[in-house]
Structure 1
Amino acid sequence: MQLIGMLDSPYVRRVAIVLRVAGVAFEHRSISVFRQMPEFSAINPVIKAPTLVTDAGTVLMDSTLILGALKGLVPAARVGPLWPAGGAALEQALRCEALALAACEKSVQQVYETQLRPTEHQHGPWLERVRAQMFTAYDLLEAAWGGRDLTPSEASIDQPAITAAVTWSFTQDLLPGLIDATRCPRLAALAAHAERLPAFQALPMH
């Protein structure tokens, strides 16, 4: 099984960390969708990261769909912590993961707009809208975190916590100073703790 994509993508990194935490064996291939387009295209003509190539040779893409497909490969002892079985716990987990992914999407859009698009072609009103959406997603995620664990172990961390931590680290690294830790102290604390876990250390953003 191969995971294709750079770890500076929060989508690639969250999949890689979930796979490592879950104990699923995989080979990570750091191929850039920008600098190595022909090589990436040979694996996935859509050139979308993350891409997962299964042992059967099937090419999958989109981080959420990849993780959903891999749920059946995760050892039973690890399914519970990563994927709540149902009921209120599952609803809360899905809400937190969705908010984290929204914050992630809006962070990535700002990076593309401010760091890849020439200044004279950047659209101020659109950028302001995306930024407001990111702030709202982070504010709601901070509130939703409530009583959730801020210092999970590698054995107890779940998908929302991994995604939230990866996303917060990405925003802080690529959009420094845009959102202060004092605005979202729970998320800042979670990310600081998670980045010290072995799985996060083994799969750094840079």
Structure 2
Amino acid sequence: MQLIGMMDSPYVRRVAISLHVLGLEFEHRSISVFRQYDEFAQINPVVKAPTFVDDDGTQLIDSTLILDYLDRKVPAARRLMPEEAQERTFALRVNGFALAAMEKTVQQVYERQLRPAERQHEPWFERVNAQMHAAWTVLDQLVAGRDGWLCAGRITQADITAAVAWRFNQYMLPGCADPARYPAIAALSARAETLPEFVATPLD
């Protein structure tokens, strides 16, 4: 198995961490969609990270689709998406708002770091920032009051995705989301980042 993409992408990192948690061996190819565009295009002409290539040559893109594929490689009891309906629904809710927070963080980074200053549109930036904070607010409410991992009595994709989203935001937009404003998600992420599977896949 090969995972192609940089760990500074939260989408690449959530797949890498999940592979470690699932106990699936893989090769990580740290290729940038910006600095190594042509090299990436030789693997995947769409140049989208993460790109996953299985041992039989199967190629998948989009982290959520890759993770669904990987979950089917292990017994049901080990899958990162819970099988029980209520817990699965909760995990889907957490994943959805965490992915929204990721997306809105990425959009702000691109707007400020890639778009020329004279072409930046402040009303749009403010809207995206408000959407990001709305996602954190809902996510913090979902996480608050839950002891241990979020569902199924073990670490699941809900924990991984929420923790990765928060760490990415704090790294890329320091000071934008105050941990004191979102204490539950900040605590969950801090706890997850001490796990060997997270330590093995540093963002920076």
Change beyond 3 A, Cα 1:77–1:91? closer
CA offsets 1:119-172 (integer angstroms, 9 cap, x no match): 1111101101100000000000000113334568xx921101111111101111
Secondary structure of 2:60's aligned partner: strand
Q: Would you say 1:128 and 2:126 are equivalent positions?
A: yes
Query: What residue ranges of structure 1 are gaps of 5+ in the alignment?
Result: none
Partner Cα separation in structure 1 for residue 147 and residue 106 of structure 2 = 26
1:78-131 C-alpha deviation (Å, 9 max, x unpaired):
22xx21113211111100110000001000110110111111111101101100
1:52 maps onto 2:52 in alignment:
yes
- List aligned pairs for 1:1-206, cutoff 5 A: 1-79=1-79, 82-150=80-148, 156-206=154-204
> 1:175: Cα distance to partner?
0.4
CA distance in 2, matches of 1:72, 1:111: 34
Counterpart-to-counterpart distance in 1, 2:77 and 2:21: 12
Cα offsets for 1:54-87 (capped at 9, x unmatched): 11112110000100111111244422xx211132
Question: Is the contact made by 1:100 and 1:163 (CA closer than 8 Å) also made in structure 2?
Answer: yes
How far apart, in 2, do the equivalents of 1:159 and 1:101 lie?
12
Contact 2:49–2:62 (Cα < 8 Å) also in 1: yes
Residue identity in the other structure for 2:16: A
TM-score, normalised by the number of residues in structure 2? 0.95
- Separation in 1 of the partners of 2:38 and 2:132? 33
Q: 1:148 & 1:53 partners in 2: Cα distance? A: 36
- Runs of 4+ aligned structure 1 residues displaced above 2 Å come to 74-77, 146-152
Contact 1:4-1:50 at 8 Å conserved across structures: yes
AA aligned opposite 1:55: D
RMSD, matched Cα: 1.4
